[in-house]
């Protein structure tokens, strides 16, 4: 293409010359000076302007000018046209280390690590010696294996004391999961910048070494928002959301201004805890501090409100998003499914399809989950088959898990078993656990034993496997087998996850284990439990002692049921909140049938709406009924 085609007609004379007209005038009306062109390259704000300047360089024979060529290459890559930048580089005569470093850095920033390594190798072959900036650039995206090779070259060429190179090495080892090597390089650094400290902090936080991360964090004299985000996210990602919220409050007290990443991380922590009051406070904080609510943040708000039991707030946020992407639709569909409002979830799915949005694999997790909570077996199979046939989405293990859950709850155990055996992907322990749970629910000990034996023999058994099998034997009264399974658990070092329920009151989350006596208001909580027992008996309630799977007397079984963690959290909610206000409880395991029955009655007796989130779904208890319809 002729370079003349890259130009437009020059504008008429004008008293001012803005940046655009300066470009036109400088490169079309007279032979430009290299200094002026260099200035234009620095000020250029679009690819269109760069193409005009590039044409001028070609026209006036300046395309091999070292400074102009270098600046043009860098300008193209910084504006997303790496292809133009690489084409220029390949036409450069005898590129020096600065050209090589620039093009390597551009590829690394675009995540093209193999291409960056190829150019680096080409550079060495041409006899060009790397410098510290070259190593800092190439280390940004390389793998652990290549990083180790580069580390040896760093030492050989004497750059192992450079702060930026060492920080890059820490990052390589951190990304590769080699925390020990990252720590070793970090500790040998003679001086540590904020960037190197943050890199090591990220390594610790990402790989779950939160004690080390917190020690490093607390020792940092200067902390920017990135440091705060890394530490808060570390807690959130590794199941410590309560600590994440505490640290976030400390961040605000330190006058550090949160950004979008902070907001997303803290909303996730609120969702994990079911801390609705904290989530609402954060939403209000965003509005009062003019923090922009992007689609990404709005989607996180939908997720948070859904997980905290307020579908009304979630829907309000959803309806206010002007340009909804598929992720926002997915979040709302999954929210409805989580609460057991299956028809709402399916209607929203069909509405999304009507407006032309194409569902993703995540969409179908929500849709199949909705079918599972309502026992819609026919519809579930229809959606599952449509994934591959209509939408060309290959079902993943999560979709098979939804189908196993759907079929298992509906009592179609053999059908679920055949599905698992004929899967195209390898079933994991979670999937087998879902099927084993269905066997427990429907009392199919024969199939349950077969699955458990397979998991144990293939070293796939976890605590849930042993607990479910033990409970199945206990339900049959086979205490010898129960004892054998529990001995096997002990010998294997497997521990049962304790049931824990939490409730948020006045922006503080209170956690309860079964029989908990450590709460400051233990006396008042147990007094309320006594009152609750009186109300329940007056309404004809009989404890479901058959679900207590221990070889003890009925009186002891009743006492065991009375202090389940759900009931302790409910009692605390009743003494700590205003009459008539909703009570929201989060349980880490599946709610037991006795606690479910008790909560239904308490909602009727007290006239309170009680929302409980267990491991599988939400239960909305209102006036003696539950939204699950006793199908959970």
Residue 58 is predicted with a pLDDT of 80
Give pLDDT, residue 88. 83
Q: If pLDDT is split at 50, 70 and 90, which confidence band does 497 have?
A: confident
pLDDT at residue 354, as a whole number: 95
Q: What is the pLDDT of residue 556?
A: 77
Position 68 scores a pLDDT of 79
Give just the sign of the alpha carbon dihedral 518, 524, 526, 532: negative
Mean local confidence (pLDDT), 150-170: 91
Instruction: Print burial letters for 8-27: b (CB count within 10 Å at least 16), e (below 16).
Output: eeeeeeeeeeeeeebbbbbb
Residues counted in the chain: 632
Of all residues in the chain, the percent with pLDDT exceeding 70 is 92
Report the candidate in 617, 18, 53 with the shortest Cα–Cα distance to residue 342: 617
Q: pLDDT tens digits for 400-412?
A: 999 999 999 899 9
Where in the chain are the domains?
46-195, 223-323, 500-626
**Cα–Cα nearest to 471, from 504, 444, 502, 499:** 444
Q: What is the DSSP letter of 1?
A: -
pLDDT at 603 over 60: yes
Would you state the pLDDT for residue 391?
A: 94
User: 257 exposed, middle or buried (CB, 10 Å; 0-12, 13-18, 19+)?
Assistant: exposed
**Residue from 482, 526, 514 nearest 591 by CA:** 514
Check pLDDT > 90 for residue 379.
yes
Q: Which tens digit of pLDDT belongs to each residue from 240-272?
A: 999 999 999 999 999 999 999 999 999 999 999
Beta strands 610-613; 583-587: pairing state: parallel
Contact 89, 121 (CB under 8 A): no
pLDDT at 32 over 70: no
Determine phi and psi for 554, rounding to 5 degrees.
-65, -40
Answer yes or no: are the C-beta atoms of 66 and 32 closer than 8 Å. Answer: no
Residue 531 has a pLDDT of 94
pLDDT tens digits for range 447-456: 888 888 788 7
HEC string of 116-168? HHHHHHHHHHCCCCCCHHHHHHHCCCCCHHHHHHHHHHHHHCCCCCCHHHHHH
Q: Record the pTM.
A: 0.81
Residues 474-494: tens digit of each pLDDT: 777 777 877 887 787 777 777
Q: Which of 121-135, 326-340, 424-438 has the highest mean pLDDT?
A: 326-340
Calculate the alpha carbon distances from 418 to 424, 447, 464, 612 in Å: 12, 12, 22, 33
The CATH number of domain 46-195 is 1.25.40.10: yes
User: Is residue 227 very low, low, confident or very high in pLDDT (cuts 50, 70, 90)?
Assistant: very high
Cα gap 309→340, rounded to integer Å: 12
Q: Do domains 46-195 and 223-323 have the same CATH topology?
A: yes
Instruction: Please say whether the beta carbons of 501 and 595 come within 8 A.
Output: no
pLDDT at 31: 58
The arrangement of secondary structure in 223-323, i.e. its CATH architecture, is Alpha Horseshoe (1.25)
SS3 (DSSP) at 613? strand
Q: Please give the residue that has the higher pLDDT: either 531 or 78.
A: 531
Does the pLDDT value for residue 33 go beyond 80?
no
49 pLDDT higher than 80: no
pLDDT of res. 6: 30
Which pLDDT belongs to residue 450?
84
Per-residue pLDDT tens for 608-619? Answer: 999 999 988 899
pLDDT the model gives residue 568: 95
218 or 436: which leads in pLDDT: 218
pLDDT tier, 64 (very low <50, low <70, confident <90, very high otherwise): confident
Strands (E), 486-564: 500-505, 508-513
Q: How confident is the model at residue 226 (pLDDT cuts 50, 70, 90)?
A: very high
| Order of all β-strands in the sheet with 500-505 | 508-513, 500-505, 583-587, 610-613, 618-622, 625-626
pLDDT in tens, 527-586: 999 999 999 999 988 887 776 656 566 677 777 888 899 999 999 999 999 999 999 999
* Residue 9 pLDDT greater than 70, yes or no: no
Across the chain, mean pLDDT equals 86
**pLDDT at site 610:** 95
Which residue would you say has higher pLDDT here, 462 or 307? 307
Rounded CA-CA distance 400/439 in Å is: 17
Instruction: Tell me what the mean pLDDT of segment 352-374 comes to.
Output: 95
pLDDT at 313: 95
**Separation between Cα atoms, residue 120 and residue 103, nearest integer Å:** 10
3-state secondary structure of 278: helix
Give the pLDDT confidence score for residue 534 in this predicted structure. 92
């Amino acid at each position: 293409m002729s370079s003349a085609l890259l130009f437009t007609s020059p504008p008429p004379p004008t008293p001012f010359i803005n940046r655009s007209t300066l470009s036109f005038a400088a490169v079309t009306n007279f032979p430009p000076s290299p200094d002026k062109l260099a200035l234009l390259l620095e000020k250029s704000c679009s690819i269109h302007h760069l193409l005009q300047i590039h044409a001028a360089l070609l026209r006036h024979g300046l395309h091999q000018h070292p400074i102009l060529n270098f600046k043009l290459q860098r300008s193209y890559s910084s504006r997303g046209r790496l292809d133009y930048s690489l084409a220029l580089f390949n036409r450069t005569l005898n590129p020096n280390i600065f050209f090589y470093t620039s093009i390597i850095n551009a590829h690394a920033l675009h995540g093209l690590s193999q291409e960056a390594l190829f150019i680096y190798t080409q550079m060495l072959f041409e006899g060009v010696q790397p410098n510290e900036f070259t190593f800092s650039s190439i280390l940004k995206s390389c793998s652990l294996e290549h990083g180790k090779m580069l580390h040896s070259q760093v030492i050989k060429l004497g750059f192992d004391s450079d702060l930026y190179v060492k920080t890059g090495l820490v990052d390589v080892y951190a990304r590769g999961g080699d925390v020990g090597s990252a720590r070793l390089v970090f500790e040998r650094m003679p001086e540590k910048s904020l960037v190197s400290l943050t890199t090591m902090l990220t390594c610790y936080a990402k790989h779950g070494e939160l004690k080390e991360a917190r020690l490093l964090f607390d020792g940092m004299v200067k902390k920017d928002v990135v440091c705060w985000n890394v530490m808060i996210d570390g807690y959130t990602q590794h199941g410590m959301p309560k600590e994440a919220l505490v640290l976030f409050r400390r961040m605000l007290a330190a006058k550090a201004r949160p950004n979008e990443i902070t907001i997303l991380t803290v909303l996730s922590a609120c969702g994990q805890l079911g801390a609705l009051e904290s989530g609402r406070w954060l939403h209000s904080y965003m509005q009062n501090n003019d923090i922009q609510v992007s689609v990404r943040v709005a989607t996180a708000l939908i997720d948070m409100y859904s997980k905290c039991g307020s579908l009304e707030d979630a829907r309000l946020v959803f309806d206010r998003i002007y340009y909804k992407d598929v992720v926002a639709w997915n979040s709302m569909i999954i929210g409805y499914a989580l609460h057991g409002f299956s028809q709402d979830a399916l209607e929203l799915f069909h509405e999304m399809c009507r407006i032309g949005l194409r569902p993703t694999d995540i969409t179908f997790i929500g849709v199949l989950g909705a079918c599972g909570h309502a026992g819609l077996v026919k519809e579930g199979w229809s959606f599952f088959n449509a994934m591959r046939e209509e939408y060309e989405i290959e079902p993943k293990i999560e979709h098979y898990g939804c189908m196993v859950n759907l079929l298992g709850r509906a009592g179609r155990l053999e059908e679920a078993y055949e599905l698992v055996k004929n899967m195209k992907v390898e079933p994991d322990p979670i999937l087998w656990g879902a099927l084993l749970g269905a066997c427990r629910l429907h009392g199919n000990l024969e199939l349950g034993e077969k699955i458990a034996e397979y998991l144990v023999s293939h070293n796939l058994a976890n605590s849930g496997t042993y607990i479910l099998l033990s409970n199945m034997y206990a339900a049959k009264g086979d205490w010898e087998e129960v004892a054998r399974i529990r001995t096997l658990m002990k010998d294997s070092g497997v521990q049962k996850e304790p049931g824990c329920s939490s409730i948020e009151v006045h922006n503080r989350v209170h956690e309860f284990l079964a029989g908990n006596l450590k709460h400051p208001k233990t006396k008042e909580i147990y007094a309320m439990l006594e009152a609750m027992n009186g109300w329940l008996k007056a309404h004809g309630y009989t404890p479901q002692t058959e679900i207590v799977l221990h070889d003890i007397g009925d009186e002891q079984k009743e006492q065991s049921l009375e202090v389940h963690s759900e009931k302790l959290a409910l009692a605390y909610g009743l003494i700590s909140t205003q009459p008539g206000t909703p009570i929201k409880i989060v349980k880490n395991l599946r709610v037991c049938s006795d606690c479910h029955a008790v909560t239904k009655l308490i909602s009727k007796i007290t006239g309170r709406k009680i929302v409980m989130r267990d491991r599988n779904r939400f239960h909305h208890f209102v006036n003696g009924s539950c939204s699950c319809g006793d199908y959970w």
